[in-house]
Structure 1
């Protein structure tokens, strides 16, 4: 990768890591489900009028929108609102790589290698250490919600692999249109209309800034830049930069929120990030797939280019 492309990949990881601190600040202004709904509303508008028509079938947009937008982000925001620290949330969510591999095996028959299985065990041991650490300082129920959010993220990764979106930004913007109404409905049911009205009535610049960051910077810029990198480099080159997300997440939470980083948490970070790295190293041994450099070779007739990273594997079907 060119130095400028490396810098862009690190910038995206930093944006995604700091996002957890911004979410924590935003939860001081909004109920969690309302905050998540506003995030997707701002990500969808006005971008949906600028990215063109959807490039995949609507069933995939709706499926990913519900699993990623409603389930994953709903659980994450509720878990953080219930007491899960921002830095620890950025770390625990990385176990989505393990869930992605397990769900891909169950749904798609993609067999993980022994190295990937070893990585899964190491990553899960990191989750166990993080759970012990959180059990001494915070509510385990909130911790469990974030783990469930990671499982939903893994499921959405497999759905996106099946959807094979040719344009990551176009796909993410259209996906962002789906969760808005379900999340608003859930917010009205569980958080109450009065609480939502009070949050909107007292909206200030800090609250608006958190919505702008999580919608436009994290979603539109982050996924747009990540997709741009994946179109120019193999997924195996780009994807490892996502392991920097918890580094920036834990660092920003410690710097701006004063969250302590205990010895157990550092141990969990080493195990989880190391395990995820092993899980992501050529995790699947399905002979039906072979690598293709998207920037060097055009797809042959009848082949569909798949997006890489957490949404695909940078390969095409033969």
Structure 2
């Protein structure tokens, strides 16, 4: 990758890493499911009128939207509302790599390579250390909900792969269209119409700014840049940058909210990221020197 494209990948990492603290701040005055509905409303309107749906069929679009968009983000927003620290959430959400490999093995019969298997085992060891360390100082429910969010992301990844959908902006927009109405309906049931109406009529500038950031920067601009990089470069050159997202997320939470990981969370997180790196980073193949026969053919 060129320096320009590497810097663009790092820009996306910063946008996505800071996203967790910004979501957490936006939910101070807005119920999580209503906040989610507002985010994806901004993502989809007016983009739906200008971007054609991906040619994968409506059933696949709805299934991907229900898992990759609605399932992942509704659970993440609920976890943050329940008290999940944003920095730790950015780390645990990366377990979607582990879950994706496992779900693909079951659903798509994709047998993981030996390197991926070892990476998954290391990642699960690190995850276990994080869970044990976190459960000693904080409630376990937000952690479980965060892991369910990562699982929903993984299922969405597998559905996307099975439908042979490109990871283009059209998929982000049209699968995101599945979110606003169900999220709003759930918010009306969980939070009551009175609370929803009060939140909508008294939106703070923080909630508005957070909605704009998560919709425009994290979703549209972030995925727009990311997908363009995936279209130009091998996946193995682009995807490893996502391992820096929790690093940015933890640093942002530390600077903004004074969130400091415990020793167990720090050690477990480092081990988990090492496992994820082993699972997704492919070693470069050395070019074999030309044989004497090939040299003679060139001459």
TM-score (norm 1): 0.86
Give the CA deviation at 1:186: 0.9
Q: Give the aligned partner of residue 143 of structure 1.
A: 143
Is 1:185 aligned to 2:157, yes or no?
A: no
Q: Give the aligned partner of residue 100 of structure 1.
A: 100
The answer to which structure has the higher helix fraction is 2
Specify the SS of the correspondent of 1:203: coil
Distance 1:167 1:157, change over 3 A: closer
CA contact (8 A) 1:55 1:167 kept: no
Structure 2: distance between partners of 1:167 and 1:98:
20
Give the CA deviation at 1:182: 0.9
- Structure 1 ranges of 4+ moved more than 4 A: none
Is 1:65 aligned to 2:90, yes or no?
A: no
Structure 2: distance between partners of 1:199 and 1:65:
25
Specify the SS of the correspondent of 2:30: coil
How many residues get paired? 283
Q: Give the aligned partner of residue 116 of structure 1.
A: 116
Q: Give deviations 1:278-307, integer Å, cap 9, x for gaps.
A: 121459xxxxxxxxxxxxxxxxxxxxxxxx
Q: Choose 258-267 or 90-99, whichever is displaced more.
A: 258-267
Give the CA deviation at 1:54: 3.2
Specify the SS of the correspondent of 1:261: coil
Q: Give the aligned partner of residue 155 of structure 1.
A: 155
Q: Give deviations 1:200-240, integer Å, cap 9, x for gaps.
A: 11102211000001111000011111000000000010000
CA contact (8 A) 1:123 1:273 kept: yes
1:1-318 to 2 correspondence within 5 Å? 1-166=1-166, 168-281=168-281
Q: Choose 271-280 or 238-247, whichever is displaced more.
A: 271-280
Structure 1: distance between partners of 2:264 and 2:129:
7
Q: Give the aligned partner of residue 295 of structure 2.
A: none
Q: Give the aligned partner of residue 309 of structure 1.
A: none
- Where do 5+ consecutive residues of structure 1 fail to align? 284-318
Give the CA deviation at 1:34: 0.8
CA contact (8 A) 2:240 2:281 kept: no
Structure 2: distance between partners of 1:172 and 1:266:
33
Structure 2: distance between partners of 1:188 and 1:220:
27
Structure 2: distance between partners of 1:167 and 1:52:
14
CA contact (8 A) 1:94 1:272 kept: no
Specify the SS of the correspondent of 1:137: coil
Structure 2: distance between partners of 1:54 and 1:233:
21
CA contact (8 A) 1:54 1:170 kept: yes
RMSD in angstroms over aligned alpha carbons?
A: 1.4
CA contact (8 A) 1:29 1:199 kept: yes
Give the CA deviation at 1:30: 1.0
Specify the SS of the correspondent of 1:132: helix
Q: Give deviations 1:114-169, integer Å, cap 9, x for gaps.
A: 21111111111121111122212221011000011111110000011122233511
Greater RCO (Cα-Cα under 8 Å, separation 6 or more): 2
- Where do 5+ consecutive residues of structure 2 fail to align? 284-299
- Higher-Rg member (1/2): 2
Structure 2: distance between partners of 1:56 and 1:202:
40
Structure 1: distance between partners of 2:163 and 2:210:
30
Distance 1:32 1:235, change over 3 A: same
Q: Give the aligned partner of residue 301 of structure 1.
A: none
CA contact (8 A) 1:55 1:166 kept: no
